[in-house]
Structure 1
Amino acid sequence: MNDDAHGRALLSAGEWSAAQAYWSARRPADSTALANLAAAWHGSGRHDLAVLTAQAAIRADERDWAGWGALGNALAGHGEFDAAIAAFAQAVRRAPNHATLLANLAVTCRDAGQPELAIQALDQAIALEPGNAQFLTDRAVALLSAGRLRDGFEAFEQRWQLDDMPAAPFAVPSWRGENPAGLRIGLFEEGGFGDTLQFVRYAPLLAERGARVVLYVRPPLRRLLSQLPGIEHVVSDDATQTQIGPLDRQCSLMSLPAAFGTDLHSVPSASWLHAEPASRSTWADRLDALCDDGLRIGLVWAGQCRAQPHQAAMDRRRSMPLAAMAALAGPGRRLISLQIGPEAAQPPPPGMELVDLTSQIGDFADTAALVANLDVVVAVDTSTAHLAASMGVKVLLLSRYDQCWRWLAGRETSPWYPSLQILRQDRPGDWSGPIARADRALSALRPRLRADRLSVEDALA
């Protein structure tokens, strides 16, 4: 293996520190070496250094596509999507048959809210590399973002061909939409808690079609999801095959929309979830001891921060400091924290009084009981937003500029959650617009009496 091949291998393996050391030692004025060094900085999450290094690569040879491609990746990682699209366009102009450049341009177009342009670019990339599972999966996500749900979910099944996709957990065939009557089908989680809460709505529908449904979930969800109608068994994901029993088929919860042929007009209702009555009453007493009858507003300002660099960057973009929500405080508003994790320790800014009972939350069933006693939830894109909207509680979703595909491009409402309003950033990283719109929306709401909150939950139950 020659030296440059070794450096490229380090990049492919994600050995960012070694790649940085290698490419830093190469020819300092060489555009290829600088572009690869920029890629190493980008891979490690140092997008600021990646931008500077990519710009140096372009200065070394502006005719080289690699510097422009590295700049596009770095700018996208920094949240500068329009500038990234311009850089990728320069790269594609210099290398029109480079499939990965076209795919990177496509993903950035999707993140900028232009899914149809993303689909066009991915069609070109796939024509060059027809069997590329990543390109096919990215195209599926673009279709979903564009609201083309039936085609998108069907194409999304290509994700199972990705190298880093974990295998399905059971040694039985997958259920793909055939008649399920009489089949014992194991449904398993994929992705985060929010993904489970969004797609678990299909489990009772599968039972209605005659399946014997076993739901296989992480422990924090087990108590909440045990209330779902028609489910034979809800088990934790650490259960053994003996505890689960024999299965005829299996299906990821995220594959159920494809199996059901879901489109924009056939999204199932999300009103399966509710709080346990006794737990709801307990949380009502806790809140009543600390709050008067003002508008009760639940707040979530940050998502979890994952370790993988590109996921960590996305987590930073979807989160905000608690201080950014200061404008939501005001007379007649009672702010209640729903924030879990390290970010819950942030002190409220001056003028914001925050009721925090989260130390008493043990699982999602507790969160549901607390949410059932609120009038509205204002949240960034987290599982709590999914939970509240699944219960029919009003949700003002503060969505990052490069929002998740599930919220669909160009919409303020969601077919998945009728009670949810999408407040997307006008500019990457700027929460002032969504917060101002949330403030206006809160001003139009009136608090429900405690009896009204309980009656609504009882009706859903």
Structure 2
Amino acid sequence: MTGIDIPTVERLIAANPQDGGAWSALGVLLRRAGRSEAAAACQFRALEHAPTQAGIWSNLGNVLTELGRHDRAVAAHARASALAPGEPTMLFNQAIGCRKSADFAGALRALDRLLRMAPDHVTGEWERALTLLQTGDYARGLPAYEVRRRIPSYRNRPVPGTPWDGRPLAGRTLFLSTEQGFGDALLAARFVPLLRRLADGPGSGGSGGGRIVMECHAEQRRLLSELPVDGTIPAGAPFPAYDAHASLMSLPWLLGATTASLPPPVPIHVPDASREKALRLVGPPDGRRKVGIVWSGRVTFADNARRATTLDRFLRFAGVPGVRLFSLQKGPPEAQLAELGTSALVTPLGPHFDDFADTAAVLERLDLIVMTDSSVAHLAGSLGRPVWNLVQYVPYWIYGTEADGEHTPWYPSMRLFRQGRDEDWDPVFARVERELARFAATGKAS
């Protein structure tokens, strides 16, 4: 639909109001513009005039999934696949609709059909990996997750040379590359100590097997300075000399991770200077529960709109007796603080953070962190701080499914508050408010 805009399609519809294809095209354009309700209405109108067009049913399923109307979305995708049984796009969209509705068995069935039909469908392989990981099937999901490097949306630079095969280095140098976001780096860094032992091999005493040079985000350099590596380079810097390479996010696969055998979170280094700054920012104990809040992750992350919310939802917590709120938010969503017109309700700390070590020092001084999912959740979990993570209906795969309850084996100090099937944040925040009042009165976060 390149080069076609909304006014052009509206003129087509004005000339022929019974053109189902034009109505569907308008719906697709409106969805891209973030106007999902209007987009759904256009797809329904399109079906009035072209009820047997598989593409329209699939477009309807896509927008209904976005709106959280999962039962109708899954039914629309099933109709599309029935009308065009040999069309891979219909099966792919059906699989996404099933996964986002938490019908993981249905998603895998659709993906199995798709990949039999189109074995080189890379995004289909990617969806299959995400579905397996979501259900805790790490034995199949982690090796399948390696397909991420072949999907069109993969943004990390390729690393040339020989991939590490898991054997002792025997005097060689391993380059450990970072990828994806800050949270992913913290999540996977827990495997570096295990990597150190395995790469060195038995009998080396941790010093004779080889060298590990790790790529590290500048914002996390101080935080991760105690990892057992022989050197670091800034993310994106020229590659060092090395004999083999591995990615941080490939370590769970290479080291055989299961939900029952996860290493503890990464050891965090918090410099004294950051702790002194945190004391100035947060202050000494004053009888109130000091609660940090974050309402959005990185805005460039593709799924951020589904996992994030807005500051105004968190303001109800400012009315809980005995609670003082501190904003840990960074990036463009910080601007929402200015709309309050006062810093008395929420104390803004984000402007004072130079890196993640500063954030970590503040987390040490807070009684609780309440937030939607972002890298700060990984940091709080790594520090063992009480963190209430408010997650979307089908969240990041490490948080599992609704059947896994309030906890994740990746972060023992984290408590999950999950959206329901309707993807409505209101019941989540109402429940958190009740729990926060209980916490303020008792000091018990779980």
State the TM-score, normalizing by the size of structure 1. 0.84
Distance 1:90 1:179, change over 3 A: same
Q: Say whether 1:441 aligns with 2:430.
A: no
Residue 204 of structure 2 aligns with which residue?
none
Which of 102, 106, 127 lines up with 1:138 in the alignment? 127
Would the alpha carbon gap of residues 358 and 39 (structure 1) be closer, same or farther in structure 2, given more than 3 Å must change?
closer
Aligned to 2:297: 303
Once structures 1 and 2 are overlaid, which stretch shifts more, 23-32 or 397-406? Answer: 23-32
Q: State the percentage of identical aligned residues.
A: 33
Q: Which residue of 1 aligns with 2:144?
A: 155
Cα offsets for 1:349-397 (capped at 9, x unmatched): 9997222222211111110111111121111011111111111111100
Q: What are the equivalent positions in structure 2 for 1:201-212 lying under 5 Å apart?
A: 201-209=190-198, 210=200, 211-212=210-211
Structure 2 counterpart of 1:270: 265
Q: Note if 1:371 corresponds to 2:367.
A: no
Over 3 Å counting, the alpha-carbon distance change for 1:265 and 1:391 in structure 2 is same
Q: Which residue does 1:256 correspond to in 2?
A: 251
Does the alignment pair 1:47 with 2:36? yes
8 A contact 1:402–1:428 mirrored in 2: no
1:355 aligns with 2:339: no
In structure 2, give the amino acid aligned to 1:240: P
Unpaired segments of 5 or more residues in structure 2?
Answer: 201-209
Shift of 1:22: 6.1
Q: For residue 226 of structure 1, what is the aligned residue in structure 2?
A: 225
Change (3 A) 1:105 1:196: same
Partner SS state of residue 335, structure 1: strand
What amino acid sits opposite 2:388 in the alignment? L
SS state of the match for residue 34, structure 1?
Answer: helix
Of residues 225, 234, 237, the one that matches 1:236 is 234
In the alignment, structure 1 residue 384 sits paired with structure 2 residue 376: yes
- CA apart distance, 1:225: 1.5
Q: CA offset at residue 157 of structure 1?
A: 1.0
Alpha-carbon distance change, 379 to 183 in structure 1, aligned in 2, over 3 angstroms: farther
Are residues 379 and 354 of structure 1, via their aligned partners in 2, closer, same or farther at CA, if it must alter by over 3 Å?
Answer: same
User: Residue 202 and residue 59 in structure 1: after superposition, are their counterparts in 2 closer, same or farther (change >3 A)?
Assistant: same
Of 400-409 and 137-146, more deviation after overlay is shown by 400-409
Question: Is the Cα contact below 8 Å between 1:326 and 1:349 reproduced in 2?
Answer: no
| Mapped partners of 2:216, 2:249: distance in 1 | 13
Instruction: State the Cα deviation string for residues 211-244 of structure 1 (Å, max 9, x = none).
Output: 522121222112211222x111122114233xxx
Partner Cα separation in structure 1 for residue 197 and residue 185 of structure 2? 19
What do residues 73-114 of structure 1 show as CA deviations (whole Å, max 9, x unaligned)?
Answer: 122233333322121122122223322212212112211222
TM-score, reference length from structure 2: 0.87
Deviations 1:377-434 (A, max 9, x none): 1110111111111111111001122322221112221111111111111254522222
- The one of 102, 109, 113 equivalent to 1:113 is 102
Q: Determine the structure 1 residue equivalent to 2:278.
A: 283
Counterpart for residue 456 of structure 1: none
1:47/1:183 Cα in 2 relative to 1: closer, same or farther (>3 Å)?
A: farther
Q: Which residue of 2 aligns with 1:82?
A: 71
CA contact (8 A) 2:129 2:142 kept: yes
Structure 1 residue matching 2:176: 3-state secondary structure = strand
Q: CA–CA distance in 1 between the matches of 2:113 and 2:197? A: 42
Confirm whether residue 171 of structure 1 aligns to residue 160 of structure 2. Answer: yes
Root-mean-square deviation (CA, aligned residues, Å) is: 2.6
Q: Show the counterpart of 1:343.
A: 333
Q: Find the counterpart in structure 2 of residue 414 from structure 1.
A: 408
2:55 touches 2:90 (CA, 8 Å); kept in 1?
no
| Equivalent residues of 1:323, 1:349 under 8 A apart | no
Cα distance change, pair 274–226 in 1 and its aligned pair in 2 (3 A): closer
Matched residue, 1:332? 322
Other-structure match for 2:21: 32
Decide whether the 8 Å contact of 2:101 with 2:421 is kept in 1.
no
Taking the aligned partners of 2:441 and 2:170, their CA distance within structure 1 comes to: 45
The answer to which of 270-279 and 357-366 deviates more is 270-279
Tell me the secondary structure at the aligned position of residue 150 of structure 1: helix
Give the match for residue 430 of structure 1. Answer: 424
Aligned residues: 425
What residue number does 2:213 align with? Answer: 214
Q: Which residue of 1 aligns with 2:385?
A: 393
2: distance between equivalents of 1:232 and 1:446?
A: 45
Classify the secondary structure of the residue corresponding to 2:435.
helix
Measured in 2, the distance between the counterparts of 1:114 and 1:238 equals 39
What is the alpha-carbon distance in structure 1 between the residues aligned to residue 441 and residue 277 of structure 2? 20
State the alpha-carbon separation in 2 of the partners of residues 182 and 22 from structure 1.
65
Letter in 1 for 2:375: S
CA distance in 2, matches of 1:320, 1:254: 27
Deviations 1:118-138 (A, max 9, x none): 112211111111121110110
Output the CA distance in 2 between the equivalents of 1:303 and 1:268: 25
Is the 1:222–1:235 Cα contact (8 Å) retained in structure 2? no
